[in-house]
Amino acid sequence: MLSYIWAEDTEHHIGKNGSLPWNLPADLAYFKKVTRNHPIVMGRKTFNSFPNFLPGRLHVVLTHSQELKKQAQNDTRLEVVSSKEELFDWISSHNDEDIFVIGGSTLFSLLKNKVERLYQTKITGDFMGDVCMPELDYTNFDLTSVVSGKIDEKNKFPYEFRIYDRKKI
């Protein structure tokens, strides 16, 4: 199943200067719990925003970077695809797995007609980001779960974990 997982503020911001515009440890823990032991699909900029590989996940990166292609030849944690056709083929050949698209906005736009489940963390507030989540047609999805997050010393903003499933036609 192809799923998206992301956090956004009330203005649909998902990034700022190559990182998250907020500090919300509960969302990072949720991301880790949901994506662990599953492939994560991303663009090069998203991949480069990580300090290291995320443990327990295959990193599938859409890029033309020759350097990353060479790195992938010797690293089982990394798979590089160079075109949207290659990416579509890779996803099709792994359709028995839960696959998570984690960003950026170009990939979210590219795959919006193929995604089956949405894991959205909705954060109350405007964090003045420079990258926004592309518009999704929520009329094609049913909201199946909403869990309010706990506000505390480390998680200072109101937020909800929402799950949407594509409607069966």
Q: What is the pLDDT of residues 87-124, one digit of tens each?
A: 999 999 998 999 999 999 999 999 999 999 999 999 99
Q: What dihedral angle (degrees, nearest 10) is formed by the CA atoms of 65, 23, 129, 160?
A: 110
Contact yes or no for 39/5 (Cβ under 8 A): no
Q: What is the mean pLDDT of each run of 10 residues along the chain (169 residues)?
A: 98 95 97 98 95 96 95 95 97 95 96 97 96 97 98 97 95
CATH of 2-166, one of 3.60.15.10, 3.30.1490.100, 3.40.430.10, 1.20.1050.10: 3.40.430.10
Q: Report domain extents, the chain.
A: 2-166
CA dihedral angle for residue 139, residue 166, residue 28, residue 16, rounded to 10 degrees? -50
Phi/psi of residue 90, each to 5°? -65, -45
0.85 cut: is pTM over it?
A: yes
